[in-house]
Amino acid sequence: MRNSKAYGGFKTLNGVIFMVLGVLIIVQLTVRIGLRFEALSGFVLGAALIALGVYRTAVFVRSRK
Amino acid sequence: MQQDHQPELRRSVTPWGSYSWGYADVGADIFVALGLVFGVAGGASNVAFLFAGLVYVCVGLAYTELAAAYPVAGGGQYFVMRGLGDFWGFIAGWAVLLDFTIDITLFAWGCVGYLSHLPVLSILDAAAHPMLHFWVVLGFIAGLALLNVIGVRESTAFNGMVSAIDVISETAILFLGFLFTFRPELLVHSMQTGWPDTFQLMNGISLAIISFVGLESISHAAEETSRPASIIPRTSIALILTILIFALAYSNLALGMQPWYPVPHDAAGHAQQFWQWLGATQNQDKAVAVMASNIPYFGIAAAFYVPIFGATLLLISSNSGVFGSSRIAYSMSQFQLLPSLFKRVHRKFKTPVISIAVFCAVAVVELVFAALQGNFGYEFLGDLYAFGAAASYTLVFIALIALRLNDPLTPRKFVIPFNLKMRFRGEDVLFPLVAVLGFIGIFAILIFVLLTHHIGRIAGPSWLVLGIVVYLVYRARKGLPALRSVPRDWNREQVHILKNAGELELMDDLIGKLKERDPNFTVRVS
């Protein structure tokens, strides 16, 4: 299972969802409340989601090479 | 009765197993920390979690590098002993022991708190029925001690299953919460109207660090992880990011949440915001369940399953405190930092029965003191937990810097980014700038704990003083150096560690470097 195509697809999809969620949070905060101090923690949350998504996808892609 | 040699642990922990060992411990922390932090930091709770979270990222990276380079059970205590010597290794281990004993009580308390959110078990509420609550928590601690003495503990597979369900469950709470209840304008309003004074913010930051305690578990699992140098960095980084995301997401959601049900008035009859209610004494030990039950539609099911699930996760975490404290004490006594009494294993069950009994007894004493605080018992435990974590993490950063300088030859498959290349004692070394930042951050948190936690600043250092007395008396009786270290051949030990870990390429690499430095160096690796 761990090295199967289905598992790889799940992991990549998972990573992409994290990235999309991260982008959505950053965009929503920017549009609704702008670049303010109150949004800082939310921006870091969005960045962490994007980082997790990129990391999951990158680890999988690297393991397939 | 006394065991003379420790059988080697079987390396059967997979990447998911390594992740779930850590998650079962760290993942439960937010269930405890959320209500405590909101109770003191109010509208700045997300900032408190952000500050503590950034420090935690540095702590996590330090543990990742060290656990991958030195994959032995012992965690922070072992790294500090290797980097700074026996005395400081003892201090780090003793501070971690405080955390593990608090872990037993705090998480058993939280477990009962979450169960009390179920209507049928509301009688267990600490604020309403403190005596009953006390006896049930005591019963849980005694039960866990007994299970550990007879050698029953949750398996990696069980941890993995609970972790998987929890990640899905928490993701659902946060996803649906942000989708249906989150109002960014309310977040701004809550932060502006509920911003605490500097003292409370420092208190909140120091409590927020407890939502990130438990990375020790990955280090403890390192000795049972196959190919740890490759696997630990992968699982650790995913774990660090997951926990950071959960902490930031819960705190931002709570501040900007429009709850499904009306928020009850406070004790004085005044209207209050949702986050104020979440941080109120009666909700501090079940904050995640309160949040989940306030999400439209999903909250109906969540009101039943989140308390049960949260209680299960917290009980596992409490158990890891029993297991971890006995293992640390065992490891410390093997390195002659604690009396050999702690190494003794039960004749029949082969478990470190004295360690388990002693540290569970300490946990019970802590429970008694917490119960005597009345409504502030949970906060009292949080104070001590924060002290132990900040003290041991501070030493881990110093140990990382010391090991980079004094042990540059040990191969590191994972190296924390942002380093300064320099020469030290004739060797090329990488000076870790992130460790310096992390040290400043965690030391600041340690200062915050001492400044703002009235009990933590007395009880925490008292624990350390007690330990130092035990250590000095023991070392004097054994004729061992008090403040200096027992001589050990770390280079040969490192070769054996890498061999036992199955990291043979890294072992050959190390032997090659050691021979280059000293052509007469020999080591037996059969």
Binned average pLDDT, 10 residues per bin, chain B of 526 residues:
45 65 80 93 96 94 92 86 93 91 93 91 85 94 89 65 82 91 94 95 93 77 74 86 93 94 87 91 89 92 89 86 84 89 82 89 94 86 89 92 93 93 90 96 93 85 94 94 90 89 88 88 76
Cβ within 8 Å, pair B184-A36: no
3-state class (DSSP) for residue B261? coil
CA nearest A43 in B: which residue? B248
Whether chain A has a CB inside 8 Å of the CB on B173: the answer is no
Q: Where are the alpha helices (DSSP H) in B127-211?
A: 130-149, 156-180, 184-193, 198-208
Would the pLDDT of A65 be above 70? no
Q: B49 vs A41: CB contact, 8 Å cut-off?
A: yes
**Preferred mutation among B55, B173, B187 to probe A, highest tally of A CBs within 10 A:** B187
Q: Is B13 within 8 Å of B221 (Cβ atoms)?
A: yes
Residues of A within 8 A of B186 (CB-CB) are none
- Give the model's pLDDT for residue B350: 78
Cβ neighbours of B366 (radius 10 Å): 24
Asked if the Cβ–Cβ distance from A41 to B237 is below 8 Å, we say no
What is the 3 state secondary structure string of B119-145?
HHHHHHCCCCCHHHHHHHHHHHHHHHH
Token pair belonging to B233? 């960095």
Per-residue buried b or exposed e for B60-92, using 16+ beta carbons within 10 Å of the residue's own CB: bbbbbbbbbbbbbbbbbbbbbbbbbbbbbbbbb
Predicted local confidence at residue B369, as pLDDT = 92
Q: How far apart are CA A36 and CA A19, in angstroms?
A: 22
* DSSP state string for B428-456: EEEEEHHHHHHHHHHHHHHHHHHHH-TTH
Residue matched to tokens 């209050």: B272
Could you give the ipTM of this predicted complex? 0.91
Q: What are the counts of helices (DSSP H) followed by strands (DSSP E) for chain B?
A: 20, 2
Q: Of A16, A8, A28, whose CA–CA distance to A55 is shortest?
A: A16
Instruction: Kindly report the nearest CA distance between residue A17 and chain B, in angstroms.
Output: 12
Q: Which residues contact A45 (CB under 8 A, 6 or more apart)?
A: A22, A25, B245, B248, B249, B252
Q: Which residue of A has its CA nearest to B239?
A: A52
Count Cβ neighbours within 10 Å for each residue of B184-207 and write b for 16 or more, e otherwise: bebbbbbbeebebeeebbbbbbbb
Burial of B445 (0-12, 13-18, 19+ CB in 10 A): buried
Of A32, A44, A55, the CB nearest to B248: A44
**Angle between the N-to-C axes of helices B298-334 and B76-84, in degrees from 0 to 180, rounded to the nearest 10:** 40
Q: What is the reported pLDDT for B221?
A: 67
Confidence at residue A51, expressed as pLDDT on a 0 to 100 scale = 95
Q: Which of B345, B474, B348 is nearest to B2 (CA)?
A: B345
Please state, as a whole number, how many other Cβ atoms lie within 10 Å of the Cβ of residue B443.
Answer: 17
Q: Which of B481, B339, B463, B323 is nearest to B391 (CA)?
A: B463
At B156 the pLDDT is 61
- What CA–CA distances, in Å, run from A14 to A55, B15, B32, B168, B176? 11, 17, 28, 12, 17
Chain segment A39-62, per-residue pLDDT in tens: 999 999 999 999 999 988 887 777
Rounded to 5°, angle at Cα B206 from B204 and B210:
105
What is the nearest CA distance from A23 to chain B, expressed in angstroms? Answer: 14
CA angle B55, B61, B65 (to 5 degrees): 150
**Disruptive mutation site among B18, B51, B248 for chain A (greatest number of A CBs within 10 Å):** B248
pLDDT tens profile A11-37: 788 889 899 999 999 999 999 999 999
Residue type, B232: I
> Which DSSP state fits B227?
S
Closest CA to B378 of B137, B59, B92: B137
Backbone angles phi, psi at B108, to 5 degrees: -65, -40
Rounded to 5°, the CA angle B235-B438-B196 comes to 105
Task: List beta partners, residue B225.
Answer: B13
Residue B50 with chain A: CB contacts under 8 Å: 40-41, 44
**Nearest-Cα residue of chain A relative to residue B183:** A32
Name the amino acid, one letter, at B400: L
- Token code pair at residue B108: 């058993």
pLDDT of residue B2: 40
Nearest-by-CA chain B residue for A35: B188
Pick among A35, A45, A56 to test the B interface (most B CBs inside 10 A): A45
Residues of A in contact with B249 (CB under 8 A): 45
Chain A residue numbers touching B46 (CB-CB < 8 A)? 41-42
Residue type, B238: A
Helix, strand or coil, per DSSP, at residue B424 = strand
SS3 assignment, position B419: strand
pLDDT value at residue B1: 37
Two tokens, residue B342: 């702690």
